[in-house]
Every structure is written in structure tokens, then in C-alpha cells.
Amino acid sequence: MQCATCTGPVNIAVIKYWGKRNEKLILPLNSSVSVTLHQNELRTKTTIAACPNFTNDQIWLNGVEEDINNSRLQAVISAVKRRARKRKSDGETNPRLNWKLHIVSENNFPTAAGLASSAAGYGCLVYTLAKFTHFKGELSDIARQGSGSACRSIYGGFVTWDKGTNEDGSDSKARQIAPHTHWPELSVLILVVSDQTKHTSSTAGMQTTVETSELLKQRLSGLQTKEDQMTDAIMNKDFKTFAEITMKESNQLHAVCLDTYPPISYMTDTSHQIIRLVHQYNNINEDVKVSYTFDAGPNACLFMLDSEIPRFFSLVKHFFLPENGHSTVQGLPITEQTLHTDEIQKFKLSKQNGSVKYVIRTKPGPGPQVIEDPSESLVDDEGWPKPISDKT
Amino acid sequence: MQCATCTGPVNIAVIKYWGKRNEKLILPLNSSVSVTLHQNELRTKTTIAACPNFTNDQIWLNGVEEDINNSRLQAVISAVKRRARKRKSDGETNPRLNWKLHIVSENNFPTAAGLASSAAGYGCLVYTLAKFTHFKGELSDIARQGSGSACRSIYGGFVTWDKGTNEDGSDSKARQIAPHTHWPELSVLILVVSDQTKHTSSTAGMQTTVETSELLKQRLSGLQTKEDQMTDAIMNKDFKTFAEITMKESNQLHAVCLDTYPPISYMTDTSHQIIRLVHQYNNINEDVKVSYTFDAGPNACLFMLDSEIPRFFSLVKHFFLPENGHSTVQGLPITEQTLHTDEIQKFKLSKQNGSVKYVIRTKPGPGPQVIEDPSESLVDDEGWPKPISDKT
């Protein structure tokens, strides 16, 4: 039996992807820019096992077997195999390309948290397939066909997904702008918001926006400039510009969602309260110290420099986290700061403790990683998924 | 002592006004269309009293004396007086034009309900000033200088505010498209939503939108077509077109608010739940039976034909009204309809009883009215405000 195990990261778009020009190939209407988050906090792990006597391709996601015939899964599996077969340097076709695959994948964060799990999942799947088939070469355009934003999870640090212009999508792929080590002071707080609503999937949502929003066209016409400004801001570690474009981009994404018919709303009252906290915090500081971005759900992803974390977190705790709550901080440790009453009173916000369930502190991080330690594999010696309880 | 008492209506825009091209004259960037609501349910009443021995102009709104030197108040008072003085038919200037005024104004609905009280207030004030000064002529351009949308409250039924092109604003005024009797089957439900948030005033909000929203330009470019379609829909009593444009317009207004920096959000989770109920209701009926519109606050204004009221209201009661709540319906009576479990189960909505405080049923109605009955006056025999308790 042959095995490969890899981990892959989540990415958070700061120039948003919303709208396809080709549904089947998943070609976007605009280029996007993202920050890859560190896998110490948020990661997908995928093991691919194969041997000549497996009878079927099978896939298990978070302990549940899923349909391997899903068209997007089939597209990426066959695309990696096809590309691996084309490599002539092996002399002959790798025999494992003809074996049936057992694919086991797990997130170390709840899918329900709404943290771009499909991007991490498809990014990691494609990367693991490539390791398994010994293919070295472009992967992001294949990951894109699983889930558009997954192409950005193939790289670490700061990443652009160039929309491309070719009809076959061959130039619609991701590239790294800068590695995660480029901006070591940049910190990320994810505020996981309590929410029972079942939200419109981003696939369905963006399709309806393309069909019905009158404002989308205007949004698209201004994006190239924003992408250039964002790239410059990242290269120059210009936090203020980075933060302002990030916030305006998030707001505009949700504006075109609201201009969709029927309208789509991903943010909740709590999301809007977080937005108010950030703007009030920046106003009080007379500088842009914190920025927010929201995807297809109510959770906030906040960017700030490390030095800002203690004070801003303490405000989040005061206004939003459960009172006397345990384990409300995950990931990197946070030192709290004592808030004075006169400092709190500057904020025109009502306390709604419990409206944010918990906070994850993380950083930008590297791209997918190969895991060599066999004890980390998600399959047993026979190539079947280990029980969930056996794994960390 | 001389007195005049009038009542004036609220209006609800179906093509929204958002953004001025001239802040001082209150000239809008686009024309708008509204429905004037019936004064039996929602009205402002204003009494103007004057006599030679009053020493100061004074104004009381809802029992509280306000600053008469407010620039917008001064603009409308002096504009009506100026126009009345120009009328030569009196032979000589009416002496009461030189007397000091006591202005007393009250709404029969809570200001906190966020129901366009400034439009009703300024509309009624200008109308009452005109009656008091015996001026007959164009009033809507004067009302506009108090509060933009007030110009539409000068007329009953279905009203357009033409944005005009003159620099002095002389052609930026309202006109009636059709009287309220034109579409007698049209009914209005106002859902008053529980909300503690202090919202951005529409004056400040639209100014920030004009300064910062990238999408506003695109919105403005499409509005003339929408206005024409809306006018046709009203003339033809084409509910489906009327309803669809109304919903899309509301969504787009709130989209450009969200695209403002910092973003403005007037709708709450409850507002979005009401939107979902309306779209699901229309989907289940395979026709557009109900439409919503939201202004600078979370309350929903719903349009539907009379025949739809019992069934739709029963759903609102089931999902949103307080359980065992008293006086949750105001205005025109509503006959409830028993809902069957299988009917309710078609809706993918969770019950949030109490998220809507009460419902007001009303209809389109006429323009401002003169009240001849002296017992209805808001001032006593000396020209001072009657205590609130003396009035209904």
C-alpha cells in the first residue's frame, strides 16, 4: 500500500471573489487577493492511500463517507492524474495512477464555523494527490476546479488569483505575492459568531448575483485598481491602506449580495456590531488600527498588528464574548489588557455577551505541507479511515 | 387670535431618495416615487396660532418646545411668508404675516417607531402655514427645504418628486401621479420591529454615501427607467411589477448604504427574516403577492392587495408577533386566518415571537387636510399648547 499525507491552509480574501464567467471551469469575473492563514490553528489534513486490491475510489470527509462521483471531485482527481501521466521523466507511467484511491480528509476546526473549509479541503486534496502521484508542477488551476478560492490555498503568505483571459482557464491560477514571513507583525483574530441561520451557499449566491445585481458591473470595473493598490500595500507593509481596502472590499461584496434578487444577507446584527466596534476603535485611535472582512457567513476575520491584540481583544471580550466563559480563546495565546471604565465608555455599543462564541488568534502561514510521520496518517495499515477517536 | 389646524400624511418611497446634489436647497440626485399613507392611521397634526401680542415665534413638537431658529424651520417659514406676501390679490399684505407664530405639532404615532416623521411634520407645517397665510399655490418645493421627502407628503395617493434641473431648485417638486382612490385594493402593513440601535440619520447617511460609495453612480444611472416602469405599474395597477421594483429598490438603497464607508446598516436580523418570509410566501404562491420596503430603520412597510391580508398577517403573527400579545394590531381591522401545520412547515423560518412589536394596517390616503372643528386645535384660547392629556 502506498500513502501520502499532507495538510493545507485556509485563506481569507481581502479582494473578494464573487461571480464566475464560466460555471463549469470555475473562471472568475475578477482577480482576487488573499492571506493564507497558519495551519497551526486552522488546517485540513488529507491522507491518500492506494493499493492494487482496492476495488473502488472512496472518500471520507470528517468521518463521513461522501459521494466520490461528485463532479468537482472527479474533475480534480482526473486532472491531477492526467497531468502526472503526461510527465515523461518517469520513463513510464507510475503504476499507482491506475490504483483505486482511498481519500480521507479532516479539518481541525468545525465546518459549521463557516471558515472557508472547501478552499482548504480542495487545496489540500489537490496537493496530496500531486504528492501521491509524484507530480510536480502547476496545481492551483486544478484546485480552482474544485472550489474557486481553493486555488489560493496552494500557496502560503499573500496570494493573488489572476482571473486570466484564456477560454480554457489555463491562465486562471494563483501566484504568491509574498511569503508569510514577509509581514511577521500581522495578526489575525477570527470572531466566531453564534448563528442558526442556514446561509445561501457561495456557489448559488454568486450565480444569482451575476444574474440579477445591477451594481455588480460597477464593482467589477473598479477592481483592477483596488487589486494593484492592495498588492502595493502588502509589499510595503502599509497597514492603513491594506486595512481600508480590506474593509471597503468586504462591504462592497455584501452590498452586491444585498442588491441580488432575492437579496442575500450573510452578516447578522452581531457582524454589524463588530464593524461598529472596529470603526469606533479606529476613530478613537485617530488611525486605522484594525480591519474586518466577512465572507459567506457572519464570522468576522480581523487583521491588526501584534501590538494591537491585547487592547482590542479585551474590548471584544467585554462587549461580545460569553461572561465567565471558558475556552473562548483558541490558537495563539492572548495577553489581556485591563480596560478602564472611561475607555469603555468611549464606545457607543451595548454589551451583548455571548453573541461571539469564541475567538481564534492566528497569523499568516505557509502553503500546504507534506507530513512524513506515518503515525499522523488518517488511514490504518489496511488503508481504511482510522476511527475519529484515534486522531488528535 | 387667528388659528389654523391641519393634518398631514406620512409617505413611503417605492423609488427611493438617497443623495443630494445640493445640501442647502435639498435638491436630490434622483427623482423618487412614493405612496401617501392614510391619515386615519398615521398623521401629523399642526396648529398655528398668532396674534399681535405674541412676543416670539415658538414651536412645540410632541409636547416639547424645540428651537425655532433651526435653519430648516426658518427656511420653510420665511419661504411661505414670502410667497404669501407676493400675492397681490389681497390688495394689501395680510397683517397676520407680521405677527409672531405659535406652532404646535404632534404625531399620532411614536416618533421612535421610525416612520418618516420628518416628512409628515414638514409637509403638514408648510400646508398649515399656507392655510394660515391664505396662500394658495405651489408648496411642495417649500416643504422640500424642510426635509426632502416632505415634498411628497403635500399630495395624496401616488406621488413623484421630480428631481428637476434648475440650479435654484424651482423645478424640484412633487406632483401627484394618481389619487389614493385610483387603487382601492392596495393595502399596507407596517411591521414595527424591536430595536434599540440609534441609527445614522438619513441626512448624514446619504451625505456619506454620496462621498464614499463607488456603487451609487451605477444605481443613479438606472433609476429613470425604474421610475418610468413604476409609474406605468401604478397607472395600470400592475401589482407584480409594482411589487418587484419596490423590493429591488429597497434592496439597492440598503446595498449602497453598505457600500458607504464606514458602512451604514439600517436593517436588522428581523428585517432580513421579514424579507425571507415575503420571498418564501411569493415562491409558495408562485406569484408576487407581497412586497417589502425599508427606509432608514428596521421597520418593514409591506404592500399587498386586501385579499392577501388575512393569510399573510397570520404568518407574521405566527413567526414574529409577541405570543399572547395584546394590541399587536393597530389601524384598520384584520381578520385572521387559521394556518394549518403543513402550510407553516413550508416556510424555512424559525419563530422569533416578539421580534416584531406590532403591526399597523393602513391604506393609501389623501393629502393634507384642513381641520375646521375648533375643539381639534392643539392650542388653548390664549394660543398656548394644550396639555398633552387634553388631546386624543
Of A244, A259, A272, the CB nearest to B255: A259
| C-alpha gyration radius of chain B | 21
CB of A340 within 8 Å of a chain B CB? The answer is: no
Minimal C-alpha gap between A48 and chain B (Å): 39
Nearest to B190 by CA among B287, B285, B309, B17: B309
Q: Is B279 on the interface with A (CB under 8 A)?
A: yes
Q: Are the beta carbons of A252 and B350 separated by less than 8 Å?
A: no
A125-146 confidence digits (pLDDT tens) = 999 999 999 999 999 999 999 9
The C-alpha cell of B222 is what?
438606472
Closest-CA distance, A22 to chain B, in angstroms, reads 24
CB contacts, 8 Å: B244 with chain A: 261
pLDDT single digits (tens) B215-227: 999 999 999 999 9
Q: For residue A112, what pLDDT is reported?
A: 58
pLDDT above 50 for A78: yes
Mean pLDDT rounded to a whole number for chain B? 93
Looking at residue A97, what is its pLDDT? 86
B251 touches chain A (CB under 8 A): yes
d(CA B291, CA B289): 7
CA atoms within 13 A on the CB side of B13: 29
Q: What is the pLDDT of residues B223-260, one digit of tens each?
A: 999 999 999 999 999 999 999 999 999 999 999 999 99
What pLDDT, on the 0 to 100 scale, is given for residue A392?
44
Quick one: pLDDT band at residue B110, thresholds 50, 70, 90? confident
Is-contact B49 B101, C-beta < 8 A?
A: yes
Kindly state the average pLDDT of the residues B298-325. 95
Q: Do B214 and A198 touch (CB under 8 A)?
A: no
Report the gap between the CA of B160 and the closest CA in chain A (Å): 23
CB pairs under 8 A between A and B: 73
Phi/psi at B360 (nearest 5 deg)? Answer: -115, 125
- Our CA-based measurement puts residue A223 at a distance from the nearest CA of chain B, in whole angstroms, of 11
Query: What value does the mean pLDDT take over residues B262-275?
Result: 97
Selected for mutation to probe chain A from B251, B256, B347, B355 (highest A CB count within 10 Å) is: B251
Which chain A residues have a beta carbon less than 8 Å from that of B275? 262-263, 265
Q: Is A15 on the interface with B (CB under 8 A)?
A: no
Whether A31 has its CB under 8 Å from any CB of chain B: the answer is no
Q: pLDDT averaged over chain A?
A: 93
> In A, which residues are within 8 Å of B248 by CB distance?
261
Nine-digit cell at A20?
Answer: 464566475
What whole-number percentage of chain B has pLDDT above 90? 88
Report the residue of A258, A261, A272 to disrupt the B interface, i.e. the one with the largest count of B CBs within 10 Å.
A258
Answer yes or no: do B219 and A214 touch at CB < 8 A. yes
> Could you tell me if B98 and B92 are in contact, meaning their C-beta atoms sit under 8 angstroms apart?
no
Cα separation, B142 vs B128, whole angstroms: 12
pLDDT at A90: 55
pLDDT at A313: 97
What was the pLDDT predicted at B200?
87
pLDDT above 80: residue B175: yes
Each residue of A159-193: pLDDT tens digit? 999 999 999 999 999 999 999 999 999 999 999 99
* A159 contact B CB<8A: no
Contact between B259 and B216 under an 8 Å Cβ cutoff? The reply is yes
Burial, B299: exposed, middle or buried (Cβ in 10 Å; 0-12, 13-18, 19+)? buried
| Residue burial A308-343, b: 16+ Cβ < 10 Å; e: rest | bbebbbbbbbbbbbbeeeeebbbbbebeeeeeeeee
pLDDT in tens, B340-356: 999 999 999 999 999 99
Q: Using alpha carbons, select from A60, A233, A80, A243 the residue that is nearest to residue A154.
A: A80
- C-alpha distances (whole Å) from A235 to each of A36, A112, A228, A242 are 15, 34, 11, 10
**Residue of chain A with shortest Cα separation from B252:** A259
User: Do B272 and A279 lie within an 8 Å CB cutoff?
Assistant: no
Q: Is the Cβ pair B247, A260 closer than 8 Å?
A: no
List the single residue in A261, A269, A348 with the smallest CB-CB distance to B251.
A261
- pLDDT of B116 reads 67
**Which position has the grid cell 429598490?**
B249
Please indicate whether, in this complex, the C-beta atoms of B251 and A260 are within 8 angstroms of each other: yes
The DSSP H or E segment spanning B302 is strand B300-305
Contact status of A265 with chain B (Cβ, < 8 Å): yes
Quickly list H helices, chain B.
Answer: 71-86, 117-132, 140-144, 202-212, 216-221, 223-235, 239-258, 269-285, 309-319, 341-344
pLDDT tens, B1-26? 899 999 999 999 999 999 999 999 99
B214 vs A222, A254, A350: nearest CB: A222
Contact B215 A217 (CB under 8 A): no
Q: Does B223 touch chain A (CB under 8 A)?
A: no
Q: Check residue B88 and give its pLDDT.
A: 55
| A116-154 as b/e: b if 16+ CB within 10 A | bbbbbbbbbbbbbbbbbbebeeebbbbbbbbbbbbbbbb
B261 to chain A, closest Cα gap in Å: 7
Q: Which among B218, B288, B292, B293 is the top mutation candidate for probing chain A, defined by the most A β-carbons within 10 Å of its own β-carbon?
A: B218
Read off the pLDDT of each residue in A52-73 and give the average, rounded to a whole number: 94
* pLDDT at residue B181 greater than cutoff 90: yes
pLDDT tens for A206-215 read 999 999 999 9
Contact between chains at B255 and A256 (C-beta distance less than 8 A):
yes
Collect all residues of chain A within an 8 Å Cβ-Cβ radius of residue B279. 262
Identify the band that residue A11 occupies on the pLDDT scale cut at 50, 70 and 90: very high
High-pLDDT (> 70) share of chain A, %? 95
Query: ipTM exceeding 0.95?
Result: no
Structure-block grid coordinates of residue A128: 496530496
Is the pLDDT at A241 greater than 70? The verdict is yes
CA distance A386 to B7: 76
Decide if B261 and A248 are in contact by the 8 Å CB cutoff. Answer: yes
Tell me whether A284 touches chain B (CB under 8 Å). no
Closest CA of chain B from A256, distance in Å: 6
Q: What are the pLDDT digits (tens) for A80-129?
A: 999 998 875 555 667 888 899 999 999 988 765 567 678 999 999 999 99
The C-alpha of A215 sits at a distance from chain B's nearest C-alpha, in angstroms, of 6
User: CB-CB: which of A222, A258, A260 is closest to B258?
Assistant: A258
Identity at A158, one-letter amino acid code: F
- Torsions phi, psi of B200, nearest 5? -55, 130
Cβ atoms B267, B213 nearer than 8 A: no
The three cell numbers of residue A40 are: 497551526
Q: Kindly provide the residue ranges of all beta strands, DSSP E only, lying in chain A, ordered along the sequence.
A: 2-9, 11-15, 20-22, 27-28, 32-36, 43-51, 58-61, 64-66, 100-107, 158-161, 174-178, 186-193, 290-293, 300-305, 329-331, 356-362, 369-370
pLDDT on residue B75: 95
pLDDT category at B391 given cuts 50, 70, 90 is very low
Distance between terminal CA atoms of chain A?
23
User: What integer is the mean pLDDT of B261-269?
Assistant: 96
**Residues of B with CB below 8 A from A275's CB?**
262-263, 265
